[in-house]
Amino acid sequence: MSFLERAGQAARMTMSSHQNNQRTHAMWLGRWIVGMLALIVPVGVALGESVDGLKEMQAEIQWLAWSDQAFERAQREDKLILLDLMTVWCHACHVMEETTYADPAVIRLITERFVPIRVDSDQRPDIDLRYRSGGWPTTSILLPTGEVLFEANALQPAELLDVLQELDRVYREHRDELHQHAAEIWAQAQTNRASTAIRDGAIEPSVILQSMMIMSRLFDPIYGGFRDKPKFFEPEAITLAFLLAHDRQDPDMLRMAVLTLDQQQKLVDPVWGGFYRYAEERDWTKPHYEKILAIQAANLWNYLEAYQATKSIRYKTVAEGILSYVFRFLADRERGGFYASQDSDVRIRGPKPRVIQGDDYFALDDRQRRAIGIPSVDRTIYVGWNGQMAKSLFYAFHVLDDDEAKTVALRTLDHVYDHGYRPNRGMVHALFGEHAQEMSFLSDQVWFADALLAAYLATDEGRYLTRAERLVTDLVSRFEDREVGGFYDHGGTVEGRGLLRIPEKPLRLNLQAVLLFCDLYYVTEQAQYRDLADRTLRFVLGDSRPHPVAYTALATHRFLHYPVHIVVVGDRLHPMTTRLFRAAHRVYFPGKIVQLLDPERESLEVGRVSFPRLESPRAYVCTDRVCSPPLSQPQELHKAVHEVASLASSPALPELKP
């Protein structure tokens, strides 16, 4: 069978297997020839391998940005596109840059016969969603119109030369057939999309039970985590395990959480603190040493909760180590905000350039590291990641009484909002010093709005709630699919070339949006947020793609279970108000909401419940059905929370009764 016949057969198989599911079909559209060369090549340079005497990074390949101009050039010159999907912190990306893309024969062939496009996945999550295969780098060959002919990860020079030469030959010989087949698949995809009915999913407690069963089946009872290898962080699974351990008094769920947190501490930098990105082995060894802001934020939250749930000082120590690392290396002390990532290696430039790899560098102490130099930091401020970190910092303020964490979180949100919010458009994706990346992605809107809500609950400053609600209004206006439900990953500000023509609704981000909408409803009692949560969750549960197990259970649980509220009523400057407010946050009860109401500044009504104005500060513990008597002492809160919670019922987002 010829190459083209195999390609056509693969295309027909793809169409047949996915024609009843437009979304799944769309994910694979454009990958219909992948694998037909029988050349999915393994990583060319081992990640732990020493690379001596590396050349300076070459500028001879004139990489283009993803743009209309790049695709117009490819079509005008009738050339295939080489897409290099990378990140600035990726070790294998650096190795390929310094070896494969520095090879004179590779440079010559790419320059003569291909249009090279390089994309940073962190800057373009929309392209990453549609084109990344496995990990970074993803090396793809595209038709001039953007459909994928071939994809692999890191390739050695000889391997890439073989791929480029073969695909160039195939394209020259079968150009018309390839373009025709691509057009037919696009047409079929549009037909499927127009004719496919999406059913609403039922929001039932059984979703949570199913997630528990799956987690139990996947759990590694020896080393923790929910896979064999490689081992990645799964913060939502940890959060869910703590939640279910508390709600159901389930020791197995608690064991899953603490064993995983104990084992994954092997990825903590013992000198500077903070977590490396992931481990190659089942026992959390052979780390990849990059440090990513979002990973620090997620782990900070998990270890703070572990400290609250178990009272074990070792989890507090880990959390404090994360704070120390982030404040020292990733914080923009001048303007506010947090940088994106830190590299795994140290690159020494000059007449004798060399690379000190992570295995060697991170085995050194602080003095030895500083004598060599500091791994480079990507100083981009990504809006969504900054939202995640700010929310975790508020949690640190509540759990550790860390006032600096609160101050830095507020400064971050103020700076990013002031420079990154666009009226009626929402948040931009990234800030580069005084400049912004004027694109809007779902992740940034959801995570940043979530952090603004957390800021309101931490400060009782109404402007943060106003900003959160404004951002959600923009989010609904620009990202929601009003016909089918769910939210698209971008707000229509990107170039619709290649697979970007495929509408995507990431399930994880849609579930995070459900959590946001639920919390806004529980805080404001505005029915519009209940309705948003309802239709978004039903969209996800009705979607036939595999659901993120822990995220789905968390969103379903949040929707079905009205949370415990602790409402502190009093002058915010009164010492007892502060004591009650801080004590309320220190009570461990997953999902609780703590609100401060100052009678001199705001209404004492939450939904249909009115709190009395008394001479001295008081706290109230409430559910949807009952409130405690007024509490005057912080030490009364723990008992009251558990007593009131035991009386509560948990209907799906009920309305408070007058």
Whole-angstrom distance, CA of residue 517 vs CA of residue 30: 35
Fold classification of 565-647 (topology level):
Glutaredoxin (3.40.30)
CATH number of 331-340+379-560: 1.50.10.20
- Nearest 5°: the CA angle 425, 84, 6 is 110
Mapped onto helix, strand or coil, the DSSP state of residue 424 is: coil
The amino acid at 344: S
- Nearest 5°: the CA angle 593, 595, 600 is 170
For the chain, 658 residues long, the average pLDDT of each consecutive 10-residue run is: 34 31 37 38 30 43 95 97 97 94 96 97 96 96 96 96 96 94 83 63 91 96 96 98 96 98 98 98 98 98 98 98 98 94 92 91 97 96 98 98 97 97 96 90 98 97 97 97 92 76 94 98 96 96 94 97 95 95 96 94 82 93 92 96 80 38
* Domain boundaries, given as residue ranges, for the chain: 3-195, 331-340+379-560, 565-647
Topology agreement, domain 3-195 and domain 565-647: yes
Fold classification of 3-195 (topology level):
Glutaredoxin (3.40.30)
pTM of the entire predicted model: 0.90
- Nearest 5°: the CA angle 626, 537, 524 is 40
Whole-angstrom distance, CA of residue 255 vs CA of residue 220: 11
CB 148 within 8 A of CB 142: yes
CB 288 within 8 A of CB 338: no
The amino acid at 564: V
Residue 396: CB atoms within 10 A of its CB come to 23
Q: Closest Cα partner for 606 from 640, 572, 567, 647?
A: 567
Q: For residue 83, what is the enclosing H or E element?
A: strand 80-86
For residue 592, what is the DSSP state? Answer: -
Whole-angstrom distance, CA of residue 287 vs CA of residue 309: 28
